[in-house]
Structure 1
Amino acid sequence: MATASQNKPQARADENASRGLNDDDALHRLLVASVTDYAIFVLDSQGYVRSWNAGAERLKGYRPEEIIGHHFSAFYTPEDIERGWPEEELTRARDAGRFEDEGWRVRKDGTRMWANVIITALRDDQGDLVGFGKVTRDLTERREQEERVRQSEERFRLLIDGVQDYAIYLLDPEGHVSSWNAGAERITGFRASEILGRSFEVFYPQADVAAGKPAAELREALNHRRAEDKGWRVRKDGTRFWADVVVTPLYNARSEHVGFAKVTRDLSERKRMEALEQEGRHVTEFLAMLAHELRNPLAPIRNAVGILAILQDPAPEVAWCRDVIDRQAAQLSRLVDDLLDVSRITRGKLLLQSTPMDLAGAVHRAIEITRPLIESRRHDLEIVVPNKPVIVHGDLTRLAQVFSNLLTNAAKYTGEGGRIRIELGVEGDDAIVHVKDNGQGIAPDLIERVFDLFAQGERNLDRSAGGLGIGLTLARRIAVLHGGTIAAASAGEGRGSTFTVQLPLVHGKGAADPAGDVLASQSRGPRHSILVVDDNTDSGASMAMLLRLMGHDVETSTDGPEALARMASLKPDIVFLDIGLPGMNGYEVAREIRRAPGGDRVHLYAMTGYGQSEDRRRSLEAGFNGHLVKPVAMEAMVDVIDNLPPRG
């Protein structure tokens, strides 16, 4: 039998074991109670809250005394409560021992959080259910981030799918189509169901496939991180289109190659336009060469006519032949001139020597040019010109060419003994010239085509009217270069036609003031030093000529660096500066002028074809004093200059 002294050590061991167990329980409870990142609490077997830790209070907003004893369904949305989800969770945890879920839960203040929930069934030593342990994590931030990513991916998908002008699709590493957008369907004709999974070689001509071009394109993309190509591709219906193609390899986060992105543009229309432009250049070059070659035989013919004219009292037959040759040579010369002018216009090489002029002068010169033709066809020509000058800014020779072409057209397409009328007048701020005839007229379907190059109406086999069909084309283009228009009108075939030329007057007063008075009224102010900067030499030269006629000292420049160099030597009072300069634009030039010594005293005015409020704002921000819209009216320049004091 054990003695008392022998039982004491055992008693102390049992006491220490009991104290250690209690200490572990206390530590465990302290751990659970202190956790703030997780809600950890116990439910009884019916789902009522039995314990509550700091994390539960932080995540859900309830203090222990507010929630212990309440059913845990308080944390669920009305929708989940209505469908019995809290009870379903407990049932699944009881049956499986554990249940995990993610979903919306509700805080005390009614706000929602996205929660990860783990419910564990708690059983005693006999296996009877005594409650549940529940651990909740707040994943709202992660959920929001995932939702932002999802929405971003969805927007990107919608963007790609919605693009109509580009075929944008993915290939797997072997080159099989794995995605397809609306632009790809529009350009190639394949629906997604018809192309997904097929090799992208289907888009290449058979010769390119046989030559291994598709595979080479993918290899180039892999080797150089990008491959670009322009060439013919094939649609579903077998037709070809000219494509601009970019292929980019795709890699995942582990730098593993997962496929290719391919973007294709249909450039067929651009290709066609480039071909037409090339063809047009060839035609223009041919016309220029033909016109020059035709001048060689014309020179001796005209010389021979001059010799015949010197002969005293030639026989009537010789005089008749001389006059015929003279008229026909003159006509051929005009055709050659027209060919050259069309060539120059199409190449942008036609130069205008524009000055303020009385338009009546151009009308009378045109009559002189065409009178022999009109008289040879015995037409009655009526001329209506006002007594007061009609002042326009133009090239006298070129405008006379416009009206002579219209008179020639009227004479050719009017039967012998017809009536032609040329009338000059003013309507509003425009000069108007009407050329009317009672000739064969214009069919309605030709009204919009008569100004096309080489366009002509119905002709008999003898082509008695003659001509190449370039006179009206040339007339319209010269008028457009003057800022004007030409329009054709006819009541129909056999009922004559009217051609109307509209040109802007030099100023809004029309023909009331002669040119001399106009210029004199603009030269009464102080003399200024002016720099005109415009890369269009015609525009710059004509403005400079006007300003010189007003009595000012004017120099011109055609680009920014040259203008800045001129500024240093000229030190102008005023600078009229074009915005659309090559290389260094007008805004940049203006800023450089303002930064230069004395640049703050220069009166700087922008010249541009754009006149919206945003354009004016940009000019002011760049340092301009004002904004003038092309074509710059004379009154606008006068207002600018007359309101400036003489410098120095």
Structure 2
Amino acid sequence: MTLSFSPGNSEISDFAESERFRLLVAGVIDYAIYMLSPEGIVCSWNAGAQRFKGYTAEEIIGKHFSQFYTPEDKAINFPAKALQTARDSGRFEDEGWRVRKDGSRFWASVVIDAIRDDDGNLLGFAKITRDITDRKKTAEQLHASEERFRLLVQGVTDYAIYMLSPEGIITNWNLGGKRIKGYDSEEVIGSHFSRFYSEEDRAKGLPMYALGQAASQGRFESEGWRVRKDGSRFWAHVVIDPIRNDMGELIGFAKVTRDTTERRNAELLLEKTQQALFQSQKLEAIGKLTGGIAHDFNNLLGVVMNGVGILRMENSSANTLKVLDSIERSVNRGSALTKQLLTFARQQTVKPERQDLNKIIVSFAAMLRRTNQDVEDIELGLKDSLPDVLIDPAQFESALLNLVINARDAMTEKSGKLQITTETVNLHEHEVNQLPAGTYVKVSTTDKGQGMTQEVIDRALEPFYTTKPVGKGTGLGLSQVYGFVHLSKGDLTIESVVGSGTTIAMYLPALAEKPESVDSKSFKFKKVLVVDDQVDVLDMAVGLFQSLGFEVLAANDGETALQILQDTPDIQVLFSDLVMPEMNGMELAQQAKLLNPSIKVVLASGYAEPALLAKNPHFNDFQFVSKPYRIQEVIEKLNKSA
């Protein structure tokens, strides 16, 4: 059977095709697809249009499409403008609010295409509308979220948070960036982030290395110096994260910087303090050991010395006496060593006095020069108007002599001047080891010798540690200096560069201005009890207080003194020796406070304060003077006593 097609069959085919297309459009429910006349009258209506806009075909065909627009759009004749745009350019595309039959609004994506015949005559318009309200809400929520995040980032001041292009160009800037680095956004956006790095880091290529690591590893984190607008540096903690799009392509970097200078300084201070504490504890332990050895050694030397005396009386031959003289000289040298050990251990009895260090150094300079004839010169750099310090002058001279001798030995040749300088310094808490904040007199010796390694510096204060050849030193010089400054409530530092020289500085607490002499009539206290188990010392103390105009009672032991306190409740001052048999001065003072809480107590002893404090936990509850004491010292303690 042969089929043939005629024009009539072609028309039927076209009709069928048209009908299928009509049915296809009519069945679409996700899009409103309908036709408009050239004037905007609705000519067709599909299921999607009915679903979106709520009108049936019978309700809307023949009506003007402008009724889907909001009153605001109709007021500005927007529907006509849309048709005009489609007529002129062939197409109109827009998003905006549209109105349903029930008056509710939805956000629509609209496309209007002009339909023309083969001759170009306008037949009407094809209008496609889609309800994208949900998409708009999602976009608005995303935009709101992004805006909140942007405002959050912009408002952060503790962190510099900003974006970089893949090449490292700054694309935005927050308040933290301005606060930390000093730049306004206009000054940095568009410039390369390497401007914040130091010249040394830029020379090493560190900025681009950081971006490379972030891109390849997924993150870069480091700490280092960064530079502010004013040229100052700060210690920064930096994190750089790569930003990639959905395709995995690198589109930039997020960079977060925080100024951690204060934290770093605190960590360095803590580390320095811990090291100083460790060194102090180590030296304290060595001091206790050497102190005990020194006392025992002194007892042995005493036996030897007494034996020499006996032998000297029993033997008169020249040879024997010569041997005894040699033994005695060795004993004396051993005694000198034990004194240095006791000073290091802070168990040596000292006699602190108010002193002007400049005067001591000037008067001692000739002695120092004679001792150091191998040195080209000793140069003094003494600042005027130094405050006084409370020291034992003989101990200070010994400490200074030890420092100068060490400096001389460090300069193997006449390699320049040895400098001794003084100045007043104000220290912060723990700026120098464990010293409290305050004013100090700094005494420094500086040589141009061979210097010390850090290992030598760490051990330099240990007794018997020395780098000198055998027979050239005992290793006790710096130990004695250390003991002296600590007995004087100070400290010392060692700064040295191998091949360049060494500076050792003693820091001694400065005293306030000299108090004016106190008139005894200004004292409120008039009755004092003086206690000492040594009769001569007691008599001297009684005379001292009588010279100040006190009514004086005396006792030569603690039990008698306590009985006097019970019998004489109007005693205002207790001045007692600390070390006494039976009831000592500390026990007496505590009993006196129980009897009369307002009584003023001053204790005295010939032992050094550190040794007394170790044996008397309540030692600091009362004022203390070292024997022998002066009238002015007693007056000062009475004014401070509690």
TM-score bin, normalised by smaller chain: 0.3 to 0.5
Query: What TM-score results when the alignment is normalised by the length of structure 1?
Result: 0.47
Query: What TM-score results when the alignment is normalised by the length of structure 2?
Result: 0.47
